[in-house]
Structure 1
């Protein structure tokens, strides 16, 4: 059923409209000035108001006097009211009565007419047209992501008057700066040089042997004292042999040392802020500790030091058992009170089948 609503009231509760002239568009008023050539130049175009004449017949069975007073009450407004037609559910007009409300009755039936004046001459849309990635490229416009990360938005206005878009932005990652630019102006918010205005920590990888397969960044530290135990000699050599670093030459020991060996060192590179050193650090090493025969001894260490070669922390595998296959893994902390933090024992086999105590951590697999 066709309905007409004016303000908060439905006119079609009282009358049946026999004619409504909504027209196509309001008239334009042109401002012109003389041109040096033929004709004139258009200086300004102004949309004029429009009128909507409406004729009606009072619904049969209703009291014509009651309807007369009801229409007068609804239409006698000193301000615009919204005018809605049910066949245009998403549009409304801002309208007010102009001229006389014609009303003719014989006591039982009545007919009449009135004209509503639309001061801005336009129909206004009530629903919102959305342009997003799903309907991009359709009648509403396009959204295109550029190679530099910016986004170009082309909005197509299918109406008859200028429209002002509402732009909703959802960031898929942290973003402390937004900028919108248009031919007639722009808007920017945030700080372009900083993600969010405050410093935060992030994890960075400082070294990965996958990009240094021969461990070339580790240099011999021959003669440098062992940071964890000065009784360990360091003037031997460690070298890369096909699959990793291995003990190469034992070197010599001083009178106060009890084992000979070599040592390699690498200075961790600076992070992205050009800072060397970290308050929090983790690293993964693949250590292979397998005695080829009972009674073999040895020690493997991974140590972290400060800029003065003072121990910060480290761990190592020590086998001093000269008859059996027992070894232990120890964890050390340095600083002002260096000590062994904890340790656990294991068997230095290669986790072969049927081992009573298989070496689950430091085997060749």
Structure 2
């Protein structure tokens, strides 16, 4: 079964629009320009094809290679009536403004469920000396196809996606995969090709080659405040206040509670979690992976605050960690730091607003992670990975994790960051020296997103091109009905929830 998902705003349809009225960038010109009316439209019909062939000596005719469809030009014939020269000029001023945008959705009233992507390129010169004229507008569509204003969504049943493409051309497919239990491999197989991610499990399948999740956000929420401890990353600050839990965007976060006794310029709460032993009763993780989701957002200019996460040895040495802070008491500039072996490696500045283009640590997209493999430590920042080789950390074993949230000076209340906290912290111990050899790289709850048009794969919102198996082909949904089978590791306990979306297209 599939459902329709409305994703395009086709503009407000007037009550007396011509059959072929054009909506350009979401606006019907008749609704905005007094006296404007569409008379006819051409260029939306059958498209010619350009055939590429090759002549061969001694052979009749030619050898057919392929055909292509050229760009499309749509011509809109219109009439403009104005009561006076002033209204006439104002009408054309409006028309120029409305048609100035490039590569926009173009919809026609007699086919309001489909759109072209076009740019206004030229127009005819209308007769002078009259306020009642007929002219033509040309819309250039470098992509000759028209697309459905809605997307079709399909959900796999018993591991099979049945895709119905009622357009006239093959179209790309987007996928959302939600794991319901840990797995090391996701495969999508059809007659058009195969897409594979992760690693098909090794033949021996020994349990020591698998990773184990030893801590989650619930462990930090249930952990007591470490009022006698020290924030190892920032020992010069006070940390005997408290942490607190909040419900933001229907998710439970842990964040700042109270200041506590003041020491230095930043003070607040600290929690130190002792990581439990693995299934072999062994404490400490030399190789580990931690994924965390957070918010660090200033709802007002000039708000300040600080938070960090520290990965420590048994004797409280800082293996690695991340810090977010804002000391800008006037503007909206925050900073993100990455640390290893007790030292800061790098710092970035960014804007702590609610905009995704400015702030990587807000709401649904606040992803971050750290991977340690011996002396190699990998950090994530805003769509990219940063790798460091630090020999001193090779044999360091993580036994504790600290999180801390602090207020700068006396800047509490409305002067404190509107949102700073974690709603996900997962710590996974890896029992092998190389991450690639771990079959269960996708824990339960992992979200894998595949963008069919760009041929990119994302894991929990982060680009993961290295997960793509060599030979993967990003196939399209052919016209008609097609079947895609979903595969995963043999030892996977529960099958993932897989959804696919297509936007049908026509020539």
Relative contact order (alpha carbons < 8 A, sep ≥ 6): 1 or 2 greater?
2
| Same structural fold, with TM-score higher than 0.5 when normalized by the shorter chain | no
Computing the radius of gyration from Cα coordinates, the structure with the larger value is 1
TM value normalised by structure 1? 0.43
